[in-house]
Amino acid sequence: MKLIMAVIQDKDSALLSDELVEANIRATKLSSSGGFLRSGNTTFMIGVEDDRVEEVLNIIKVNCESREQYTTSPVSLDVSLDSSIPYPMQVHVGGATVFVLPVESFHRF
């Protein structure tokens, strides 16, 4: 048994939840903030058998991996003329910081 603590961005939380449910892996979400990732994160606490750790890590990687997105700047605060034309802006989204912890014993009551 291992306890996986995964800090991910809020925006990836719903998708990760769904994929873990699909894989029949149970997780608890802890409210968290700041630090490992930019503001707005969630910590997943996932208990799994040793032989499924790699599978869970892969589910986290596929759904939460840090990636770049192009976004169109929605508003321009610059008064110069040319800035009024929206242009694509590259932003980093996602990312996961994951700790796999040893478990001494596991109980369900």
Interface residues with Ni ion (CB under 5 A)? 22
CB 73 within 8 A of CB 86: yes
Shortest distance (Å) from residue 106 CB to Ni ion: 26
What is the spatial distance between Cα 101 and Cα 109, in angstroms, rounded to a whole number?
A: 22
Based on CB atoms, which residue is closest to Ni ion, 70 or 109? Answer: 109
Binding string, residues 56-75; x marks residues near a second copy by CB under 8 A:
-x--xx--xxx---------
Shortest distance (Å) from residue 59 CB to Ni ion: 9
What is the spatial distance between Cα 28 and Cα 75, in angstroms, rounded to a whole number?
A: 38
Q: Which residue number is nearest to Ni ion in terms of Cβ?
A: 22
Identify the CA nearest to 44 among candidates 1, 68, 14: 14
